[in-house]
Amino acid sequence: MNTTTNGSWRELLGRTYAPVAVVLAGGVLMEASTVYLTTSLLPTIVGDIGGAGFYAWTMTAFLVASVISSMLVSRILTTRGSMIAYLLAFGLFGLGSLIAAASPGIGVFLAGRAVQGFGGGLLAGLGYALIQRALPERLWAKGAALVSAMWGVGNLVGPAAGGVFGQFGVWRPAFGLLVVLAAVLMIVVVRVLPRTERSASSSAVPGISLVLLTSAVAMVSVASIVPAGIATAATLIVGLGLGAVFVLHERTAKAAVLPRVTFAPGTALKWVYLTVGILAFGIGTEAFIPLFGQELGALSPLLAGFLGAALSLGWSLSQTVSASAERPAVVRRLVIGGPALLAVGLAAYAVLQQSGPSVLVVVLWFVTLFAAGAGIGIAFPHLAVAAFSSVGDEEEASKASAGINTVFLMASAFSAALAGVLVKLGEPSVLSSARWLLFVFAAAALIGAFPAWRITRSRAARQTEEPQLTH
């Protein structure tokens, strides 16, 4: 009998494995929901402690820290074991939440978000990495499905919680609640999580790459607060230049963030990663959408919070449908059409921006953002498979597939930083800021159709039978 297929949801959520499932799923849910909790509360937060010029930094600090810590998941799990790894992750997340809750100004709040991001990146990675070690083989598939589902649940829990707190004009208790939840889950970890063996790690930390990446994102972020004009252009150019140096270093680095096969001749992987990165750029708009909803649409914090999550909700729901597509022609259309649909959705949302909109226009805001998110969702599952099938070696293929999440996080961090620059260009008009941000990001998304086309072309050129994109 095949033991990998006889596990059930009842067994996973039963007395024996439910506590372990709570830890794995709870960590990912905290990471996912915190993004939307924070964006929903940002207008309230900056209204209380100031720092409107650092609006985008709240997302950038969290994402950059998540990128760095996600690179260390395997190393920490190997050298420290499962229990210490999770205690460290929840501890950092709780500490960051506590710093944010007690912050007297935007500087301390950003520091708290960075610490929170370090913990969040570990939680997201551990949620997947520990399934194999903490659950029997027959429950692996159910465990992976449960953990993945938490990203969709976070789309609902985050804005709902943030909207409720924002409705009452308070935000510190929301972060205080995260501290309590982290502490409770730390107790659960000690009681139920199985200990795993420790050993020396053979993987080197890609220190130079991480420094270059962090510096590049930091410089783009600085461009959003320096005086407009030459200073903005100069810092932006330096940031993009450091990003280019990062890519050049990755091509030859012994310890790299991206799989070595990325830059190998003849592989489609570089086009896969470029497409993923461009799709991830759409996520950079999310930090500002609740602000636009409150300032332009006079929406309540609760509704504005859900508006901010509409893009990710479209992504989460559409990928569950798209993943079942198997016909080669259909898959090619989904991969190429994803960036195009993202571009159309963002552009339509930009056109609909106005002060004092009617109910119909507000509804169309939700629809266009959902459509933009669907552009990411219809392409993403097939991009992951394309990454896996772009190389023949099983170990390298595993690294190539894992690189999807790394590239997505890196691109999201860059886009969040660039979003702050574009919003600044439209100041003091919120309407102009919204249009600058959305039209530029729509144009960037449209460019993504080219590398997406190159993926399908590269696959077709290498195969004489059914494309592996559909496997």
Domain chopping of the chain, boundaries: 12-202, 207-256, 263-471
pLDDT of residue 438: 95
Q: What are phi and psi of 235, to 5 degrees?
A: -65, -35
pLDDT of residue 2: 42
298's torsion region: left (phi>0), alpha (psi -120 to 50) or beta?
left
Give the per-residue SS3 of 122-154: HHHHHHHHCHHHHCCHHHHHHHHHHHHHHHHHH
pLDDT at 83 over 50: yes
**For 115-119, what is the mean pLDDT?**
95
pLDDT at 202 over 60: no
**For 156-178, what is the mean pLDDT?**
90
pLDDT of residue 470: 40
pLDDT of residue 115: 97
pLDDT of residue 393: 58
pLDDT digits (tens, 9 = 90+) for 128-141: 777 777 788 788 76
With respect to CATH, is domain 263-471 assigned 3.40.50.720?
no
**For 201-230, what is the mean pLDDT?**
82
pLDDT digits (tens, 9 = 90+) for 3-38: 445 567 788 888 788 888 888 888 888 888 888 899
Percent of the chain with pLDDT over 90: 31
pLDDT of residue 59: 85
Q: Running DSSP on this structure, what letter comes out for residue 355?
A: S
pLDDT of residue 223: 84
Q: What are phi and psi of 311, to 5 degrees?
A: -65, -45
The CA-atom distances, in angstroms, between 379 and each of 114, 216, 312, 445 are 30, 28, 14, 13
Q: What pTM was computed for the model?
A: 0.79
392-401, Cβ contacts within 8 angstroms, sequence gap of 24 or more: 393/261, 396/259, 396/260, 396/261, 399/259, 399/261, 400/259, 400/261, 400/262, 400/269
**For 196-223, what is the mean pLDDT?**
78
pLDDT at 250 over 80: yes
Q: What is the mean pLDDT of the chain?
A: 84
Say if residue 19 is preceded by a cis peptide, omega within 30 of 0.
Answer: no
Banded pLDDT at 467 (limits 50, 70, 90): very low
Banded pLDDT at 402 (limits 50, 70, 90): low
CATH classification for the domain delimited by 12-202, as one of 1.20.1250.20, 3.30.830.10, 3.30.1330.10, 2.102.10.10: 1.20.1250.20
pLDDT of residue 460: 54
Q: What are phi and psi of 56, to 5 degrees?
A: -70, -25
d(CA 434, CA 292): 7
DSSP string, 203-218: PPP-HHHHHHHHHHHH
Which single residue is written with the structure tokens 């600090």?
A: 61
Q: Which of 71-75, 78-82, 411-415 has the lowest mean pLDDT?
A: 71-75
